[in-house]
A = this chain, B = another copy of it.
Amino acid sequence: MTDYKTNLRLRLPTTCIILEVILIILFATLVQYDEHTDAKHWHENMEKHNESNYENEFYFRYPSFQDVHVMIFIGFGFLMTFLQRYGFSSVGFNFLIAAFSLQWATLMQGFFHGMHGGKIHIGVESMINADFCTGSVLISFGAVLGKTSPVQLLLMAVFEVTLFAINEFILLTALGARDAGGSMTIHTFGAYFGLVVARVLYRPQLSKSQHKNCSVYHSDLFAMIGTIYLWMFWPSFNSAITEHGDDQHRTAMNTYYSLAACTLATYAFSSLVSHDGKLDMVHIQNAALAGGVAVGTAGEMMLTPFGSMIVGFLAGTISTLGFKYLSPILESKLHIQDTCGVHNLHGMPGVLGAIVGAITAALATEEVYGEGMKDVFPDVSSGEITASFQGVRQAISLAVTLGIALLGGLIVGFILKLPIYGAPPDTICFEDSLYWEVPGEEGTHEEMTTVQVEDVEKPING
């Protein structure tokens, strides 16, 4: 039943073990507890600065971290279970590549974010950043979902995490852009990188698997678990690494209102564009989230609640229309088979978010921000640059992100095109049984999953 070429018995274990051994060696060589996690340094610093244990960064970031963590593993994982026979792979490969990426991202981001005496210092903030970078990889995963092997995905993650860290470094450190919720660094980058990879991996014969590229009733409900979790925790996502105090508070609130407005837009346009006024689950599952993407950059700024709502409404609108009108064109004209429609959820809303961020930054005044200016726009606050120039920085950052994503995706796509990773044939895409032992449906008992029963059937001492 399993084609030799897709048997991963040697390739998947080898890849996982080699990657993990490399990670462990690099961690042993390069990574240390930071001053909030190291027993000795924390206690030295507490004494020196007359602080208490209650001021440990843990208490001000960890709840946000856990919300982000849920988005990465439950949110993305279950959002992609909408396919009828790809639930194991959706949530399972999501799990695998996320578990790898967060380790690799710790190293790559640590390397670019600044070493301390040759060492990478880690704590809850680096954990959030690693999860963010992982999110970008999972966005790209959405574009190639159902058409790739886990070995291919792990390799994509190796490259994408690296390019993500480079792009992030250029934007935040070299260019001095602001992008707390990652409209550019996470969403735009992840989406366009993934779309180019999908383009390079174009399968003209994919229609042979088209009967599996659809949902069933229950799979859509599983996917809604993912959607709702992403929706609920997006305020935590956008605010997870903004400055403490009003910044985190405001970012969370802006995101909350943007998402609420986005949801109404999504329902409105989903019903409007269908031929008989019925709602489409694909829109609800995805476009309702675009409001979170679109305030990823401007959320920490003084966007105002109604400004957030306008942005969210626009994001929901373009995302829903994108699913209806643009995705078919991307497939037929540009040969981009975007399984989850990441262009509509992350691509366009990400670009919108970058533009909104640039405009909002350019309009910043001391009048509005007061002393808070130094948290949101430190260079404007210090008088180094004008607010308008901050806006220019943001715009340049968008262009840089698109450039690195497109070029990076092109190169990585060709690497992933090599016929050595056990990718599924065109006829067996969107199908779990290629890489998973799949139990029968209810009422049939083809395969047993628990060990003791298997034992009864096939005694190992035979």
Which one of B66, B73, B245, B457 lies within 8 Å of A53 (CB-CB)? B245
As a 0/1 sequence over residues 226 to 247 of chain A, the CB contacts with chain B under 8 angstroms (1 = contact) are 0011011100100000011111
Interface flags for A273-287 (1: CB within 8 Å of B; 0: not) read 010111111101000
A159 at the interface (CB under 8 A from B): no
The verdict on A19 contacting chain B, using a C-beta distance below 8 Å, is: yes
A164 in the interface, Cβ–Cβ < 8 Å?
no
A371 on the B face (CB < 8 A): yes
> CB within 8 A of A216: which of B9, B259, B306, B442?
B442
Question: Measured between alpha carbons, how far is A329 from B324 in the docked complex, in Å?
Answer: 48
Interchain CA distance A57-B245 in the complex, whole Å: 8
Q: Report whether A84 and B442 are in contact in the complex, using a CB–CB cutoff of 8 Å.
A: yes
CB-based contact B2/A232 at 8 Å:
no
Neighbouring B residues of A452 by C-beta, 8 Å: 213, 327-328, 331, 337-339
Which of A46, A288, A305 is packed against the most chain B CB atoms within 10 Å? A305
Q: How many whole Å from A77's CB to the nearest CB in chain B?
A: 6
* Structural contact, A460 and B310, CB atoms closer than 8 A: no
- Decide if B218 touches A24 in the complex (CB within 8 Å): no
Evaluate contact between B269 and A13: CB separation under 8 angstroms. Answer: yes
- B277 in contact with A10 (CB, 8 Å): yes
Asked whether A74 lies within 8 Å of B229 as measured between CB atoms, the reply is yes
Question: Chain B contacts of A414 at CB under 8 A?
Answer: none
Asked whether, in the complex, the Cβ of B95 is within 8 Å of the Cβ of A372, the reply is no
Subset of 19 A-B contacts with CB under 8 Å: A2-B276, A9-B272, A20-B261, A27-B309, A31-B306, A39-B368, A39-B373, A42-B245, A42-B249, A54-B245, A74-B229, A95-B228, A103-B261, A122-B305, A210-B453, A217-B441, A220-B449, A332-B460, A337-B452
- Given A53-B243, A253-B122, are A214 and B453 also a contact pair (CB < 8 Å)? yes
The answer to the question of A50 belonging to the interface, with a C-beta cut-off of 8 Å to chain B, is no
- In chain A, positions 424-462 with a C-beta closer than 8 Å to chain B are 435-442, 445, 447-457, 459-461
Q: Are A279 and B455 in contact (CB under 8 A)?
A: no
Residue from the list B42, B103, B127 in contact with A246, Cβ < 8 A: B42
A136 CB → nearest B CB, Å:
17
CB contacts (< 8 Å) of A9 on chain B: these are: 271-272, 274, 276-277
Give the one of A247, A323, A457 with max B CB within 10 A.
A247
Decide if B220 touches A56 in the complex (CB within 8 Å).
no
Across-interface contacts of A222 in B (CB, < 8 A): 221
Q: How far is the CA of A220 from the CA of B449 in the complex (A)?
A: 10
Task: Please state if A372 and B42 are interface contacts (CB–CB under 8 Å).
Answer: yes
> Contact at B331–A439, with CB atoms within 8 Å?
no
Interface: A248 (CB within 8 A):
yes
A200, B279: Cα distance in complex, Å: 28
* Contact indicator A323/B8 (Cβ below 8 Å): no
**Contact present for A27 and B246 (CB under 8 Å):** no
